[in-house]
Amino acid sequence: MHEIQPSQASGSKAARLRELLAGPSVVRAVGAHNGLTAKLVQRAGFEAVWASSFEISASHGLPDASLVTMTQYLDATTTMDATTDIPVIADCDTGFGGPLNVAYTMRCYERAGIAALCIEDKLFPKMNSFADTGQDLLPTEEFALKIKNGKEAQTDPDTLLIARTEALIAGMEVSEALDRAHAYVTAGADAVLVHSKSRRPAEVLEFASRWDSNIPLVAVPTTYSTVTETELYDAGFRLVIYANHGLRAAVKGVQDVLGELSGTDRAQAVEERIVPMADVFALQGMRSAFRTKP
């Protein structure tokens, strides 16, 4: 089993992410689905962007059910990476198919300069983890082969491949999640994301207490939202992903403003609820590109 070490290389976002994961504090990533939301993540002070498959699917008006193609995900992720200075972690669902698909995915994302890829051990096509439906997992050995193929296709030693186990989502015991995670580390995974839809953090904290590897753990506290970053770090989690909070905030904000606007007859009614155009120009880089003549 290998341990995350600070990279000896310099400059790449993948190397920077490795340095952060080996550092003295938790690394925080937030979900995004385009360049603008990725910029907002960076502006808010977070260390990484999570190129969320849920958010990207939602931005297309589609369910998070393997309907969006790898090319569409990659295009969105590349835009996020190009518009920010912080590492981007790509949510690649099940790797878009079998072991050969994972190898191809690794090559494509790595050529685009993406710092890390995350794949999960569900069957393809997958359904969102919080959907009210059954969740079927691949046999452990088959998913380990995906991890192995992905790592063998890798050319930059700093690129990270995160193995995500959905064992707890599927209603399995913590022991099964641990067995799967250890097999994925043996296959070459650089980090392990253990996902849970419990309202309390007990099962992910139990997982961490029984984790006997130096490979870093990743948490996604969407449902167990009362847990603190300090508690997670002390338990052994080195990366915390707020996977969909930006999109959910945007939906609420747009719904509220448009609902109010639809009940009035002038734009001024919502002026205090929206940012000035200058703020959007700043996010776009318009102020430097289009200076007003004196």
Read off the tokens for 235: 């338990």
In single-letter form, the type of residue at position 180 comes to R
List the catalytic residues.
64
Name residues whose C-beta falls within 8 Å of residue 273's C-beta, 6 or more positions apart in sequence: 253, 256, 257, 260
The pairs formed by 72-78 with CB atoms below 8 angstroms and a separation of 24 or more are 74/108, 74/109, 74/112, 76/33, 76/34, 76/51, 77/51, 77/109, 77/112, 77/114, 78/112, 78/113, 78/114
Name residues whose C-beta falls within 8 Å of residue 192's C-beta, 6 or more positions apart in sequence: 162, 163, 164, 165, 181, 184, 185, 211, 213, 215, 216, 217, 218
